[in-house]
Amino acid sequence: MTEIRHNWTKEEILAIYNKPMMELLYDAATIHREHHDPNTVQVSTLLSIKTGGCPEDCGYCPQAARYHTDIEGNDLMSVQQVKAQALRAKSSGSSRVCMGAAWRNVKDGPEFDNVLEMVRTINKLDMEVCCTLGMVTENQAQRLAEAGLYAYNHNLDTSEDYYKDVISTRAFEDRLDTISNVRKTNVTVCSGGIIGMGEAVEDRAGMLVALATLDPQPESVPINALVAVPGTPMEDIEPISIWEMIRMVATTRIVMPQTQVRLSAGRTEMSREGQAMCFFAGANSIFAGDKLLTTPNPDVNEDMKMFELLGLNPQKPFVKKAQPATVEATDSQYQSLGEKPKWTRPEHKIERNEAAKLARKNS
């Protein structure tokens, strides 16, 4: 089983990213199959519960109040509206609802109380609940945890070096502080970033260094391709190629073997073949639904057709990660026979039922 490392360097990650494509794909796919079922993909639905009017100046975001975009703002949705959307998402195959609010940070009061009630309500539907609400304090993170929150999303966006070129109203360290506050609870961490914002490849590696050196590593890492929205400072940036996306997914899979790597924004510009290559390279999570907060996303019916074509199955809720079809017997099982397992390749693994038989034999 591939070792989980927390001491990656930028140079090491760049060397992986720049490997010949076929070698990179092979390495990533091999690691993916060690830790995950390659035919299972976690499906999330992203719901904007409060849109527009954000005081931040993120250069990519159409919800910033200072930019002139066509985004129609709305106040915080009601609990019943959110429940209705969650039921719709569940019927379409989603196991998680991610609620996003265009806030710089969470403020205690009636609106936060309503969000907590939304979390409790969705939990009762036997669905995972994720929130992305901006910065949170340790106390606020704990209140979310007590309400039943499964995951908290707080993206790093890019590398620390390039960060100041993307946003000035919040420091890179602020984002790490929020992740730290979430880590003090039982809530899982979802944190990734965006590529195609004019950054160098070194910045992509730098972002992965920041994520992979966290201990523990994030349970989920969304990889977004910039969707250039008219009215934002990044409106004229040309889209990245699918090959850049595949390289980023594969590299992320290699340096964070147990993490769920999510194909997020930008899928409307990807062909089915391109997405299939991303799944092969280690992506095992997507956002479903026709909109990601404010930007377009493939229709859920089209996604289900793609799943059927590729033989993919939606992951059930509350699964930390999809296990591969074969597993290693534990050290203790073999030590009871006076043996020590020495495997690094799939051919050294045993089938799950054989492991169970061995465990029963020595119990």
Helix (H) or strand (E) holding 296: strand 295-296
Q: Which of 143, 183, 253, 262 is catalytic?
A: 262
| Residue the block writes with tokens 């849109």 | 51
Region class of 289: left (phi > 0), else alpha (psi between -120 and 50), else beta: left
Q: Active-site residue 131, yes or no?
A: no
Q: Which of 98, 143, 175, 183 is catalytic?
A: 98
Q: Active-site residue 98, yes or no?
A: yes
* Positive/negative CA dihedral, 308, 309, 311, 312: negative
**Cβ 324 vs Cβ 314: under 8 Å:** no
How far, in whole angstroms, is CA 10 from its chain's centroid? 21
| Residue the block writes with tokens 């020590």 | 340
Report the C-alpha gap between 306 and 107 in whole angstroms: 41
Report the C-alpha gap between 141 and 152 in whole angstroms: 9
Angle value at C-alpha 127, between 129 and 207, nearest 5 degrees: 40
Say which amino acid occupies 196: G
Where b means 16+ CB within 10 Å and e means fewer, 239-261 reads: ebebebbbbbbbbbbbbbbbbbb
Say which amino acid occupies 117: E
Where b means 16+ CB within 10 Å and e means fewer, 311-350 reads: ebebbebeeebbebeeebbeeebbeeeeeeeeeeeeeebb
Q: Which of 54, 96, 131, 204 is catalytic?
A: 54
Collapse the DSSP code of 114 into the 3-class scheme (helix H, G, I; strand E, B; otherwise coil) and give the result: helix
Q: Which of 143, 183, 190, 247 is catalytic?
A: 190
Report the C-alpha gap between 74 and 53 in whole angstroms: 9
Q: Which of 96, 130, 143, 175 is catalytic?
A: 130
Report the C-alpha gap between 49 and 98 in whole angstroms: 10
Q: Active-site residue 278, yes or no?
A: no
Catalytic residues: 54, 58, 61, 98, 130, 190, 262
